[in-house]
Amino acid sequence: MPPSIELADTPGHEPSPVCCNVAMGVADPRWLGRALDWLLPPTCALCGATGLPGLDLCAGCLAELPHNRVACSRCAQPLSPGQVDGATCGSCQRHPPPFAAAHAAFRYEGPLHTLVAGAKFRGRTNLVRLLGTCLLRALVEQGAARPELIVPVPLHTARLRERGYNQALEIARVPGRALGLPIDVRSCARVRATAPQMGLERAARRRNVRGAFRVTSALAVRHVALVDDVVTTGQTAAELAKTLRRAGVARVDLWAVARTP
């Protein structure tokens, strides 16, 4: 069983040259965050009130967000209130996904639409950092296993040119920096543009993403965490996980800011 993530984790190795290592090399950077909070207090991205320390959300808005605290352990699908957190949903029992565990901070509903749209399509870097921080908090709260490497779900080059940045990579920088984990942006590529998954049946979803990813260089690790902003059907992440496992990765986990109910 891999060790769980702890915020006290610090970098302990030199990154591979194929990795974008976001660890800052500072044993405890929290003093800098406290100083910045004092000089420039956080502002809630939803209501404009003063935010919590290190977070652009106030206590009230944070409490009202749709936290995904009762969810399937394999796909992070929200479960019914009467079910037990960490149980496996019926879909995963019938069709086990290729990732060993999945964690999503929120259900994709309500104000999450506003936060994700601002980060994804409007280039609001403060919202990207906010979503990354919320993901980090959820990983710690949910006892996520510590991987050796983070792989943000890659965009096709055409989509990357259109948007200008990969929101999954920018979100991944926050847990990567806090946990001292390297982020690999070179070993896996999206080689085929795909249509949106929404509205497609299960078989059509699988066909839509089949062959969409390719491992372009060897990964000398056994445990990888994929990072994405929103998981809708899970088929895109599943296809990437299959690609990584065929390349020799023993365990793939999925980390997402939000999961569609």
**Three-state DSSP string of the chain:** CCCECCCCCCCCCCCCCCEEECCCCCCCCHHHHHHHHHHCCCECCCCCCECCCCCCCCHHHHHHCCECCCECCCCCCECCCCCCCCCCCHHHHHCCCCCCEEEEEEECCCHHHHHHHHHHHCCCHHHHHHHHHHHHHHHHHCCCECCCEEEECCCEHHHHHHHCCCHHHHHHHHHHHHHCCEEECCCEEECCCCCCCCCCCHHHHHHHHCCCEEECCCCCCCEEEEEEEEECCCHHHHHHHHHHHHCCCCEEEEEEEEECC
- pLDDT tens readout for residues 43-65: 999 999 999 988 899 999 999 99
- Domain containing 185 equals 19-30+67-259
> For every one of its 261 residues, what pLDDT tens digit does the chain have, with 9 covering 90 and above?
778 877 644 333 333 333 443 333 333 445 444 544 545 788 999 999 999 988 899 999 999 999 999 999 999 999 987 787 778 999 999 999 999 999 999 999 999 999 998 888 877 788 999 999 999 999 999 999 999 999 999 999 998 998 888 999 999 999 999 999 999 999 999 998 887 766 777 778 778 889 999 999 989 999 999 999 999 889 999 999 999 999 999 999 999 999 998
- Asked if residue 12 is part of any domain, the answer here is no
Q: 59 lies in a domain?
A: no
Is 11 inside a domain boundary? no
Q: What pLDDT shows up at residue 66?
A: 96
Counting the structural domains of the chain, the total is: 1
pTM assigned to the model: 0.85
| Residue 98 within any structural domain of the chain | yes
* 171 found inside a domain: yes
Q: What is the pLDDT of residue 1?
A: 72
Q: Is residue 60 part of a domain?
A: no
Domain assignment present for residue 176? The answer is: yes
Do the domain assignments include residue 86? Answer: yes
CATH code (residue 135):
3.40.50
